[in-house]
Amino acid sequence: TSFAVPNLNPGASYFFVVRAQDESGNATTNTQERSAMAQTPTFAANVQPLLTTNCAGCHAGAGAPEGLDLSAGKAYAAMVGVSSKGSPANKLVIAGQPNNSYLMTKINGAGVGFVGGRMPPGGALPAAQASTISAWIMAGALNN
């Protein structure tokens, strides 16, 4: 079994205690604590797969909206340090600054310079996925 905990700071240690409860409300009294360190997401293993699954269906090739190609092999260069065509005063990804990165503004549906609609259209990214992208940006938006 596993459980994903969103919005953790990469490199920080967290402590967990797990207790089971049955349908009648009977709970274990476990007090054994385990620690874990939040991992820093990488672009290749964590971010690009999210972009491929959720964004590249529309944002790929020469005809991509706003000219933003988020397909594998193109996404990193199209985002990091690049101004948004829809909001030119804002960079899509500013390393170390998810709150000032226009990509997060579009994912969150609000923020600095927000123009147009929330991405992806038709539904927000799950919080854990948005948190992964934000953590990657916070960790320096490396091409790793």
Cβ-contact 130, 117 below 8 angstroms: no
Binned at pLDDT 50, 70 and 90, residue 36 comes out as confident
Torsions phi, psi of 114, nearest 5? -55, 125
Average of per-residue pLDDT across 19-41: 87
For residue 18, what pLDDT is reported?
87
d(C-alpha 68, C-alpha 44), whole Å? 18
